[in-house]
Chains A and B, each alone.
Chain A
Amino acid sequence: MTDGPALIDLALGLGVLAAAGCALLPRTRFALATGFLVLGVVISLVWLRLGSVDVALAEAALGGGILGAVLVWLAVRSRPGAASDASDSRGRADGRVRTGLGVLVGVVLSVLGALVWARIYPQIARWQDPVAQQMPDTGVDHGVTAVLLAFRAYDTLLETAVLLMAGVAVMAVGRDGGLHQARIPVHPLSSTLVTMARVGAPVLLLAGLWLLFAGSSESGGAFQSGSVLCAMLILLRVAGVPLTVTTRRWMRPALAVGVVVFILAGLVGPVTGQPWLAWDPQWAGTAILVVEVFLTVGITAGLYMVYLGLDNPQGAP
């Protein structure tokens, strides 16, 4: 067992399996949401174990934090009858056959998959040398940030556009252009929780900003920062801080600003006779920082819009 999985790998793996079971098997929605939260925590540890702090941070903030909030919200607000498979019109026996068949197919596929993986010999990527050589031109020191905002900035741009469009989609199924929900009063919570939320918000603000500016030299960046800042906004809303006017005025510009600034910054290239998204090494670092700040605004707004959209627009909870 020289190169085999260490004890910690085995333990983590079993943890992932157990948590996945908790996220898949329960019949109540609240248990599903909790199971998924646990899976998020365990998988963050796996990312750490595999050596990627950035992915672990993103998983904890996005997968654990924001998604957790959304799913728990969904579970809590559902009517009791909505969650059960028992209301399925098909007979129970039929359901059992389907489940059995599904599990059988799943097991067969898993075994096949495992057999194929045994014959896979991953190669070292060809971009390892170019990454090292071209890093100085990007103006940032952290590998992941350089990839996200310089080498593969185009991917990041389209990805931010996906998030922007998620915000637009949520608004589209809302009322009065989508921001009606911001006016729906929040249900009062216990005063202890409100105090905790008010104390927690500034901490999250600091953490979000730190993640944003640390990204150029260490792990962190726009996505992690945006989700922490969104968590702060959610806390403020839960604590009853009046954000209605601000939200209604600034939500749309904040959503769009990340993509707009990114494309305008990318336009500098064609204007000066270079390819799209090309920045002169002299000021590439500044350009990336500016783009990243506005991206963070856009990401925060997109995630917060999704959270706001969970309130049904007809008024009834």
Chain B
Amino acid sequence: MTEVVSTVQWYLILGTVVGIAGTVRLMLTRDLMARLVAMNVVGIGSLLVLLALGAAAPEIDPVLSALVITGLVITVAFTGVGAVLIRRIEGIEDTQEEAQEDAQEDPQEGREDEDGGERG
């Protein structure tokens, strides 16, 4: 224990800093895409911590690698859905007027459209 930090601890600290920075940004920003990117940065930080914890072994642990791949895939899936939702939310403003036309065009659904429009 003569050195300040070991390699493992260096990556652990790195993962922590990246993850916390991402969390702070996620909470502070209002821009939806900045939040989505920040969420991914938190994901990278967590996976870095996870893999660094396993790097203590002389060679890389296949189980830990598999876990990190699983975490990565799941984060990507959530990011994709988040990106599509952002596109839809920001598309709302573009199509607001059209939506009102729809309500007139389609009298049976008019009630539900008003309902959606009030809060939308």
Contact = CB atoms under 8 A, between A and B. Distances in A.
A114 B63 CA distance: 25
Contacts of B56: 122-124
A20 interface: yes
Interface string B67-106: 0111011101111110111111011001100100000000
Contact of B13 (A103, A105, A113, A159): A113
Contact of B62 (A33, A82, A131, A163): A131
Contacts, number: 259
A162 B74 CA distance: 7
Contacts of B30: 85, 87-88
Interface stretch (A69-77, A202-210, A235-243): A69-77
Most central of B10, B60, B69, B87 by chain A CB within 10 Å? B69
Nearest to B78: A166
Contacts of B20: 106, 109-110, 113
A55 interface: yes
Nearest to A1: B3
A114 B13 contact: yes
Given A24-B34, A51-B59, A55-B72, 17 more contacts: A5-B5, A5-B6, A5-B10, A9-B10, A13-B14, A24-B37, A35-B37, A39-B41, A55-B51, A77-B87, A113-B16, A124-B57, A125-B63, A147-B63, A163-B73, A223-B73, A316-B91
A-B pairs with the 5 shortest C-beta distances?
A: A143-B62, A306-B80, A4-B3, A51-B60, A113-B16
